[in-house]
Amino acid sequence: MKIKKGDHVMVMVGKDKGATGTVIAAYPKQNRVLVQGVNMVKKNKKETNSGVRGAREGGIVTQEASIDASNVQIVDPDTKKPARVGYTFNEDGVKVRVLRPSGKEI
């Protein structure tokens, strides 16, 4: 998977098309990523007494849900446009990720 935790990405398809955010977590086995502020869902959380001074916590909570990695692209920091990602070897012989249009290392 070419998208890693901490990358700044843009959503290309779906209900949040055009939204940008930072990747919070990447799940390579499922080919999914969790992007901050994208694909927000409401979940019912069970009420517990584990809050401060025994306060009850629970109710309806909004949080991010994962989306497929093929639906996002990394944003080029210079042009602020989405770009494809490829691999190449640098002069030290280390495999690195590069942005396809500019060829700049990530």
Beta-carbon contacts of 41 under 8 Å, excluding residues fewer than 6 positions away, are 62, 63, 64, 65
Domain annotation covers residue 72 = yes
What's the confidence (pLDDT) of residue 87? 95
What residue numbers bound the domain in which 89 lies?
8-99
> Which CATH number do you get for residue 47?
2.30.30.30
What's the confidence (pLDDT) of residue 51? 67
What's the confidence (pLDDT) of residue 66? 96
What's the confidence (pLDDT) of residue 93? 93
Domain annotation covers residue 3 = no
Domain annotation covers residue 1 = no
Domain annotation covers residue 91 = yes
What's the confidence (pLDDT) of residue 97? 96
Q: Strand, coil or helix: what is 54?
A: helix
What's the confidence (pLDDT) of residue 11? 97
Residues of the chain with pLDDT below 70 are 51
What's the confidence (pLDDT) of residue 71? 96
Contact 76, 83 (CB under 8 A): yes
Instruction: Please give the tally of structural domains in the chain.
Output: 1
Domain annotation covers residue 39 = yes
Domain annotation covers residue 104 = no
What's the confidence (pLDDT) of residue 50? 73
